[in-house]
Structure 1
Amino acid sequence: MAVLLGLLGPLQALNTAAGAFGRWVTVAAMALMVAVILLQVFFRYVLNNALPWPDEAARFLMLWMTGLIAPVAYRRGGFVAIDLVSRALPSRVAALLGLALLSVALLVLLKGVQLGHSHTMSGCLFKSASLWVPFTFEFALPLPGSGLSLTLCTRADAALGLSFGWVKMPLAMMYGSLFVGLVLLTLVNIELMLRALVTLGGGAAALQAIPQDVVEAE
């Protein structure tokens, strides 16, 4: 039990910090998305001169908003679920059922991380139609034993570079929301599995409550 709680502690702290960051980024992204859409409505219907970039900018914000808030919702049980059976079962039996379902979910998420990584890397080959960024960023960090590399817009095994100058935004900056979101979902899934194991071992009382506020009040 002590080993499980020792593994759970740092992972829980990481997910809590990532969730807090994701919530506030989501709030900012939502506000910007609304502003961008309203700006496009004004230019399209009042000035009769639609801008070329707001639609793609709103899509960019929506993708990152989804990628960062989905792990928060998953962790606090905010996804649509049928929990009639688990609620009717004793706590340990329900935890065992939940652990089995989480194990299946983990396999799906790990495959999703691989696909998200590949999709993000292919995004470096394509550019946004209307969004520009004032820099070109290259980054590569191999992950030993995983067969993956945290890589952005370079084929090098290891790289880190930043150059300034306006260029069309690589679509990898959009697709990265898929990869990041799936990685965060995987970390949350592992935490939930550890929590289920602790519950099965009779240590439910030692578990810290998962934060339930979407945005914590000051």
Structure 2
Amino acid sequence: MGPARRETHLLARVGDWGVRLGLVLLSLAAALVVVQVAARNFFDTGLPWADELARFSCIGLVFLSVPALAGRQSLVAVTLLPDMLPPRAARMLALLGDLATLAFAALLLWSFAEFLPRAGKFLTPAMRVPNWVYYSLALAGSLLLALVALDRTLAAMRGAEPSAPYGDDTGSAPRQP
């Protein structure tokens, strides 16, 4: 296996770990909502930190899971048009989608570069953590999304199957070389 394929498989594994961490964050968010509702209803007290931590968990869940979905090309899977097209045209349409994803990820990273240096030093209201910590999972997910989109674009330009290392759109495990 060449160095490019090893890096692609590493990206796929990191994306899968992002999904696993996202599931942990989803569980944490659900538990925090239950704790907060119980605190309000049974103890007549609010837990602002729980709301803020649940929001952090949901942000992390989304941004850490998206790169794995992008690798499988199943972010938005409306396949009516690609299914009707000849194979070459369908591949070109997939490449266009990957280029759009790469542009979106680049825009997100540029936005973080503009936003975080100014806002990152301020603390969140309830947990009192710096904003750069609060948005770190979104930044990491955006960076991974850009790498996955770039990898898929380069694979398509080489004539390789871009989704192969990432598994298929049913969520099966990545294919081993």
Q: TM-score range by the shorter chain?
A: 0.7 to 0.9
Matched, 1:118 2:80: no
Q: Structure 1 residue 44: deviation in Å? A: 0.2
Structure 1: distance between partners of 2:112 and 2:28: 25
SS at match of 1:128: coil
Structure 2 equivalent of residue 179 of structure 1: 139
Q: Is the 8 A contact 2:19 2:64 kept in 1?
A: yes
Please identify which structure carries the higher strand content.
1
Q: Structure 1 residue 214: deviation in Å? A: 5.0
Q: Structure 1 residue 122: deviation in Å? A: 2.6
Matched, 1:27 2:23: yes
Structure 2: distance between partners of 1:130 and 1:84: 46
Structure 2: distance between partners of 1:181 and 1:29: 14
- Letter paired with 2:41: Y
Which of 11, 35, 39 lines up with 1:43 in the alignment? 39
Q: Structure 1 residue 124: deviation in Å? A: 2.3
Q: Which runs of 5+ in 1 are unaligned?
A: 132-167
Which of structures 1 and 2 has the bigger CA Rg? Answer: 1
SS at match of 1:130: coil
Q: Structure 1 residue 99: deviation in Å? A: 1.8
Q: Is the 8 A contact 2:25 2:57 kept in 1?
A: yes
**Greater CA deviation, 57-66 or 16-25?**
16-25
- Letter paired with 1:25: L
Structure 2: distance between partners of 1:27 and 1:14: 20
Structure 2 equivalent of residue 95 of structure 1: 91
Q: Structure 1 residue 209: deviation in Å? A: 4.8
Structure 1 segment 155-174 matched on structure 2, within 5 A: 168-174=128-134
Structure 1 equivalent of residue 81 of structure 2: 85
Structure 2 equivalent of residue 210 of structure 1: 166
Q: Is the 8 A contact 1:126 1:171 kept in 2?
A: yes
Structure 1's consecutive aligned runs of 4 or more residues displaced over 6 angstroms after TM superposition are none
Structure 2: distance between partners of 1:70 and 1:79: 7
Structure 2: distance between partners of 1:209 and 1:178: 23
User: What TM-score, normalized by structure 2, do the two folds share?
Assistant: 0.83
Structure 2 equivalent of residue 137 of structure 1: none
1:9-39, Cα deviation, whole Å (9 max, x unpaired) = 1331122121121122111111111111111
Q: Which runs of 5+ in 2 are unaligned?
A: none
Please identify which structure carries the higher helix content.
2
- How many equivalent residue pairs? 172
Structure 2 equivalent of residue 145 of structure 1: none
Structure 2 equivalent of residue 72 of structure 1: 68
Report the aligned-residue RMSD: 2.5
Structure 2 equivalent of residue 144 of structure 1: none
Q: Sort the Cα spacing of 1:90 and 1:113 in 2 relative to 1 into closer, same or farther, 3 A.
A: same
